[in-house]
Amino acid sequence: MNAMLYFLRKLGLLFRRKQFHDELAEEMSFHREQLQQEFQAGGMPPQEARFAAARQIGNVARLKEETLDTVGFRFETFLQDFRYASRQLRKNRAFAAPAILILALGIGATAAIFSVVNPILFEPLPYPHPSRLTMLWEKRSDGSSMYVTFGTYRGLAERTHLFEALAVMKPWQPTVTGPAEPERLEGQRVSAAYFHALGVLPVIGRDFQPADDQFHGPNVAILSHRLWRRRFGADPGIVGRQIRLDDNTFTVIGIMPPGFENVLAPEAELWAPLQYDPSLPFDGREWGHHLRMVGRLRPGVSLTQARSQLDVIMPILTRIYARGYTSSGWPAVGFLVNSLQADLTADVRPALLAVLGAVLLVLLIACVNVANLLLARNAQRRGEFAMRAALGAEQPRLVRQLLTESLLLALLGGALGMVVAEFGVRALLALSPPGLPRLSAIRLDPVVFAFGLGMTTLVGVVVGLFPALHASRVDLHTGIQQSSQRSTGGQQWTRRALVIAEVALALILLISAGLLLRSLQRIFAVTPGFDAAHLLTMQVQESGHRFDSDQARYNFFDQALQAVRQVPGVISAGFTSQLPLSGDYDIYGVELEKENNPEGHGAFRYAVTPGYLEAMRIPLRRGRLLNDRDRNGVSGAVLISESFAKHVFPGQDPIGQQVRAGPDRGQAARSWSTIVGVVGDVKQASLELGDADAFYIPNKQWAWADNTLSLVVRTRGDAAALAPAVRNAIWSVDKDQPVVRVATMERLLAASEAQRRFALIIFEAFALVGLALAVTGVYGVLAGSVAERTREFGVRVALGATRADLLALVVRQGMVLAAIGLVTGLVGAVAATRVLGTLLFGISPLDAVTYTGVSAGLAAICLIACWVPAWRAAGVDPSITLRAQ
Amino acid sequence: MAKKPELLPGTLDMLILKTLTRAPLHGYGIAQSIKALSRDVLTVEEGSLYPALQRLALKGWVKAEWKTTETNRRARYYTLTAAGRKQLGVELSEFEQMILAITRVLQNA
């Protein structure tokens, strides 16, 4: 009750604040007049009586403040500080503008990076109980992972109770036809429990049932909300109706909710059941390693438990389905089980963490820089502080005032920083490497704003506290007497320490950027095994029943190739079943007659048309290339890569050796093919991996006719410019066939290193910002010190110092700071660059060339920053400076 | 100028309340009264009365109103409220206990 009344009275006073002050003033002046009269009555002269009365009452300004402290609310003092602070900043734009800008850069960059990193690495996936979602892979004997086979999935699903739901999936790109234009869609073929495993069900219609996912089962499909709105006008009646996909009729059974984020295939817009053969024929696709498997663990089952139980199951499966596993080419020894989030982000994690580290360094440099500016500015305000202290301001009060100022500074910087972050996020998305998961979740959301606000507050306090404590320890006498810009020794020392820190941090960033740059140079110096210049690539698909026969497939690709070769500007062209550095990854076993190894020797399979190797300019080492006589029906011809020859035929001539590849392996009924040539090695998966074994077989001699091939076209001029003409040439044969993934080989090459390039661009940008801030820091401190020591220089000159002496004096002062900073930075870099780890290629994180080169460069730039103030110092005219004071 | 003993901390409120038990007074009057009653030993830094008075008013122990003085000037007079009288009792007994304790220590130690 009392507390309530107290509060109400206080509130009442708040609204009568002016009256309150007036009354207080009147009351006190009444008091003073009474005292004065009293003194005068005692015989004091009026003037003296007035002073005596004032003395007796005390410091009126402080008393008023004290009274206000009693009756006022805390926020009022804050508002007062705030108003004063904003007046200070407005009065000193030359200081405020750069400080705010620097903070905006630091905070904005950090917020932008955070908005990318947070949903990917830190936020849980957008599903119920996301921690129970796992990704499963088959494990090879060397510990590496591979896609699972349908047989493994079936065998596992029958034998484990660890999972609430277990599902496999593969990409699917059907072409939808109908009233509107034909369109190739991104989709997935999934087993029935896919959505159940993710924990998100259709919002209209129903989920897949086990009855849907049966061999030769019904053609049913579930649409994404986006596809439903885009293609079908958001018509709720679509459920139960039929749509045409790849010349087949599918019944729509459900629509997914609008917010459904499919992290396993973000582009997918429709889904159909997998419908594989549960009898698991050992020579069918059921034993191909091409499925991804996701599982939702039962509540309470840990990853460790799951791992140990699953390891027992794999040996059972390989025993039961020995034939199937043999035909799959790669013996599995167990399972790899990861949490879904860790699995999805494994590739991007190193780059993202490195970038996060880099941005924190930038933020740190920005903070150090602004703290330095504040110190310099506070030094100029020493007179003001001393005056305020003399008027009764106590140290905590002064600290609070200065903190309010730095917080305001940070707040303005943070607000502007959010604008910077908005652009930053857009730039990051544009730069982002392909395969960055959860792209749609990257934006400036409330979480990022909260992060920005928290960071801003932290920055405000960190940046302000030190200078504030410094400034509030003023000595009244010296402060008022020399309200000049002279700063004390202690402050100089602090500013120097900050500059050293800036140089050190900038060096760490620069060295990291340098290491990444050199890694990228090393990688692009690796030859891919073919000539990437003037090479156009695209993927051509056959869709529809007219291609049910192998012959129809061959014919279409043959005719398309003929048409493409007629296009002016085309030198040569060919098709291949997998394209290097495009993400394709297709390995089959090769059985050798000399070794009698039915399980085969694994190698990349290229089913190619004649002309492919010529168009790629893959060099022929021995024997011959493929030609039009290598078609189906004649005895098979195979080319192998150099590394294959080295591994399998060491010291022998492989030409003339007999092999059976892929499904023909171990099939006595199938005829042998002959190795007719050895060609150069080609980088398939990535430039950084070693040379993998490969074989080339005419597409017409492979066990089946692929319906999706990649076209490579060697052009005379700009490869990209020829893309429309080449596409039209293909469509002149059949206008309904989708042509996708159109890209020059040079772009594919660059994209294959997109992760590293992404990290490099960001490090370069941040390193430049850090460099600029550090150099201005060095310059600022030295310029300030030169300005303060003008008189000293004047004396020195008067005593006979030469220009060169002064120049050397100042440069030495600056370079000592730079040198300490460089050494500190080198030590820091040794520790920090370990983080870059897997992002580096071909060089050590302690690469001496980078370290010395970057350090020398930074030292040179620091020297320039020192030279300017030194030059000014050297120009001091003693007759002027000595007279001035 | 001889240094006068400083007021014991925390006793200003009590002195003000006690002074007001006789009659409503303005700030100057309170200062005068304390000085006179203590025979010039206790002098407050007179300005510090005003923050204290505002604090007491907020707590509802005194009430302030503007009146005219004998010399026909406007001044703010402070009156002790019932709550203030009760508070004075509390503070007096606490103070006495403390004085007693201190005295005991001084006599027996």
Per residue in A403-446, pLDDT (tens digit) is 888 889 899 999 999 999 999 999 888 888 776 778 888 888 88
Please tell me the predicted confidence (pLDDT) of residue A179.
Answer: 73
Q: Locate the chain B residue with the closest alpha carbon to A2.
A: B59
Q: How confident is the model at residue A796 (pLDDT cuts 50, 70, 90)?
A: confident
Q: Of A710, A737, A764, which marks where a domain is finished?
A: A737
Q: Does B31 touch chain A (CB under 8 A)?
A: yes
Q: What are the chain A neighbours of B51 within 8 Å (beta carbons)?
A: 63, 66-67, 69-70
Task: Quote the CA–CA distance of B53 and B76 in Å, as a whole number.
Answer: 11
- Nearest chain A residue to B75 by CA distance is A27
Please list every residue in chain A whose beta carbon sits closer than 8 Å to the beta carbon of residue B47: 28, 31, 57-60, 63
List pLDDT tens digits, range A501-518.
999 999 999 999 999 999
Domains and CATH numbers, chain B: 12-108 (1.10.10.10)
On whether the CB atoms of residues A755 and A348 are closer than 8 A, the answer is yes
More confident residue, B3 or A849: A849
Q: Tell if the CB–CB gap between A58 and B47 is shorter than 8 Å.
A: yes
pLDDT beyond 60 at B4? no
Reported confidence tier of residue B2, pLDDT bands at 50, 70, 90 = very low
Question: How far apart (Å, rounded) are the C-alpha atoms in residues A863 and A124?
Answer: 49
In this complex, is the C-beta atom of B73 within 8 Å of any C-beta atom belonging to chain A?
yes
Question: Angle CA(A476)–CA(A477)–CA(A483) in degrees, nearest 5?
Answer: 90
A765-785 pLDDT per residue, tens? 899 988 988 888 888 888 878
| Residue A862: inside a domain | yes
Q: What is the pLDDT of residue A443?
A: 82
Kindly report, residue by residue over A98-120, the tens digit of the pLDDT: 889 999 999 999 999 999 899 88
pLDDT at A585: 78
The pLDDT assigned to A1 comes to: 55
**Residue A275 pLDDT exceeds 90:** yes
- Asked whether residue A340 is assigned to any structural domain, the reply reads no
Residue type, A836: L
Give B74-89 pLDDT, tens digit per residue: 889 999 999 999 999 9
Same domain (yes/no): A181, A306: yes
| A699 plus A765 within the same structural domain | no
**Boundary residue ending a domain (A737, A768, A798):** A737
- Detail the DSSP E strand segments found in A325-428: 334-339
CA distances from A130 to A22, A121, A127, A352, A441 (A): 64, 13, 5, 21, 16
**A54 neighbourhood in chain B, CB within 8 Å:** none
Burial tier of A598 (Cβ tally within 10 Å: 0-12, 13-18, 19+): middle
Tell me if A71 and B26 make a contact (CB, 8 A cut-off): no
Question: Which residues in B lie closer than 8 A to residue A12 (C-beta atoms)?
Answer: none
Looking at per-residue pLDDT, the higher value among A754 and A271 belongs to A271
Q: Which domain covers residue A121, as residue numbers?
A: 79-125+349-486
Residues A730 and A753 in one domain: no
Q: Are residues A202 and A317 in the same domain?
A: yes
CB A241 within 8 A of CB A220: no
Q: Do A168 and A299 belong to one domain?
A: yes
Q: Name the domain count of chain A.
A: 5
In this predicted structure, the answer to whether residue A808 has a pLDDT above a threshold of 60 is yes
The pLDDT of residue A252 is above 80: yes
Q: Kindly determine whether residue A9 and residue B73, on different chains, have CB atoms separated by under 8 Å.
A: no
A768 and A823 inside one domain: yes
**In the prediction, which pLDDT does A327 show?**
67
Considering the domain architecture, whether residues A312 and A174 belong to the same structural domain is answered as yes
Q: Does B26 touch chain A (CB under 8 A)?
A: yes
Residue A232 has pLDDT above 50, yes or no: yes
Q: Is the pLDDT of residue A141 over 90?
A: no
Domain assignment present for A761? yes
Average pLDDT for A114-139 = 92
Name the residue with higher pLDDT: A70 or A768: A768
pLDDT score of A257 more than 50:
yes
A22 touches chain B (CB under 8 A): no
The 10s digit of each residue's pLDDT in A554-611 is: 999 999 999 999 999 999 999 999 999 987 877 888 888 888 777 778 889 999 999 9
B27 interfacial to chain A (CB closer than 8 Å): yes
Same-domain status, A700 and A582: yes
For residue A808, the number of C-alpha atoms closer than 13 Å in the C-beta half-sphere is 5
Whether A26 has its CB under 8 Å from any CB of chain B: the answer is: yes
Top pLDDT among A683 and A7 is at: A683
Residues of B in contact with A41 (CB under 8 A): none
- A34 at interface of B, judged by CB pairs closer than 8 A: yes
Give the A window 55-114 contacts with B, CB below 8 Å: 56-60, 63, 66-67, 69-71
- Helix, strand, coil tally for chain B in percent (to 5): 55, 15, 30
Boundary (domain end) residue, out of A699, A715, A737: A737
Residue A742 in any domain: the answer is no
> What pLDDT, on a 0 to 100 scale, did the predictor assign at position A229?
93
Residue A338 included in any domain: no
Q: Which residue in B has a C-alpha nearest to residue A9's C-alpha? A: B58
CA angle centred on A800, ends A797 and A803, rounded to 5°:
55
Alpha carbon distance B62, B67 (integer Å)? 15
Please give the residue of chain B at the shortest CA–CA distance from A10: B58
Closest partner residue to A28 among B50, B60, B73, by Cβ?
Answer: B50
Q: Are A33 and A41 in contact (CB under 8 A)?
A: no
The answer to whether residue A665 scores a pLDDT higher than 70 is yes
Please provide residue A476's backbone torsions phi and psi, each rounded to the nearest 5 degrees.
-55, -50
| CA atoms of A359 and A364, how far apart (whole Å) | 8
In a domain, A623, yes or no: yes
- The nearest CA of chain A is from the CA of B29 a distance in Å of 9
Please check whether residue A715 lies inside any domain of the structure: yes
Q: Do A731 and A759 sit in the same domain of this protein? A: no
Lowest-confidence segment of A63-72, A184-193, A532-541 by average pLDDT: A63-72
ipTM: 0.86
| Cβ distance of B28 and A34 shorter than 8 Å | yes
Residues A482 and A397 occupy one common structural domain: yes
pLDDT at A298: 95
Instruction: Please say if the pLDDT value at position A656 is more than 70.
Output: yes
Contact A30 B26 (CB under 8 A): yes
Same domain, A226 and A319: yes
- Tallying the residues shown for chain A, one arrives at 885
Judge whether A714 and A571 are in contact, CB under 8 Å. Answer: yes
- List the one residue out of A291, A293, A295, A283 whose CA is nearest residue A325: A283
Q: Say whether pLDDT at A884 is over 80.
A: no
Average of per-residue pLDDT values in chain B? 84
Confidence tier at A483 by pLDDT (50, 70, 90): very low
Burial class (CB in 10 A: 0-12, 13-18, 19+), A233: exposed
Q: What is the pLDDT at residue A484?
A: 45
Asked if residues A486 and A788 have their Cβ atoms less than 8 Å apart, the reply is: yes
Same domain membership, residue A386 and residue A480? yes
Instruction: Choose the mutation target among B1, B13, B28 for the interface with A, i.e. most A CBs under 10 Å.
Output: B28
Q: Mean pLDDT throughout A211-216?
A: 92
User: Amino acid identity, residue B15?
Assistant: L
Nearest to A596 by CA among A505, A663, A540, A665: A665
Say which of A2, A5, A63 has its CB closest to residue B50: A63
Tell me if chain A has a CB within 8 Å of the CB of B82: no
Is residue A135 included in any domain, yes or no? no
Whether the model pTM is above 0.95: no
